[in-house]
Amino acid sequence: MTKTVRGILGYTTIIFIVSVSYFFYVYDAYPLVPERETFLSEIGEACGEIGLWALLFIYGRTILKLIMGKGALAKRILPDYSPPVTASIFERFLGLLNRTHIYVGITTIAIILIHIFLMGMPMDILFFPAVLALVIWQGLFGIFLSWRYSPAKLRKLSYLVHAQFITGITIGIFAFLGHLLIDD
């Protein structure tokens, strides 16, 4: 197992354990947040679902990069791995994902913000404001990263904090456990 993958698994385990502990604390301390059934909240729900798929799509690119960056891992994951042909198809697909990432990213953030706006946010369950902050964080540093007038230093910092798979893992765990605390 590569150092990157080991690091990601280690981080995931720790954040998961801490989050589950907090989950049980909230589960005990607060009543379940009731779900509203209004026209707008139904639209909000649909936005949540689209947002989820959009995030999976975005981080699919990260996984593809991780796989492609590590020949050994790629060989184990893809059954009939034959480097030249497979690589070129994946590379072309990855190229498409890279070129469209900014648009997919902005759309995803907009959809998630609409979802939060339409559903309302239980501020006392910290999972929710944390996910909101992380989504805004991704957007802000994504803009700094792609804005052509960004000074080199800011761009470098932006890449460092924006292009992190662990941010996605954190968003996923927080959003999942947070939603378990909402009655439906």
Which parts of this chain interact with ligand HEM (CB under 6 A)? Answer: 55, 58, 61-62, 65, 98, 101-102, 105-106, 108-109, 135, 138-139, 142-143, 145-146, 162-163, 165, 168
Sequence-ordered list of residues with C-beta below 8 angstroms from that of 116, at least 6 positions apart, any chain: 128, 132
Q: Amino acid letter at 57?
A: F
CB of 108 to ligand HEM, least distance (A): 5
CB 178 within 8 A of CB 131: yes
CB of 37 to ligand HEM, least distance (A): 28
- How many angstroms separate the CA atoms of 131 and 138, rounded? 11
CB of 162 to ligand HEM, least distance (A): 5
Sequence-ordered list of residues with C-beta below 8 angstroms from that of 62, at least 6 positions apart, any chain: 165, 168
User: Which residue number, 19 or 170, has a Cβ lying nearer to ligand HEM?
Assistant: 170
User: Which residue number, 66 or 87, has a Cβ lying nearer to ligand HEM?
Assistant: 66
User: Which residue number, 26 or 127, has a Cβ lying nearer to ligand HEM?
Assistant: 127
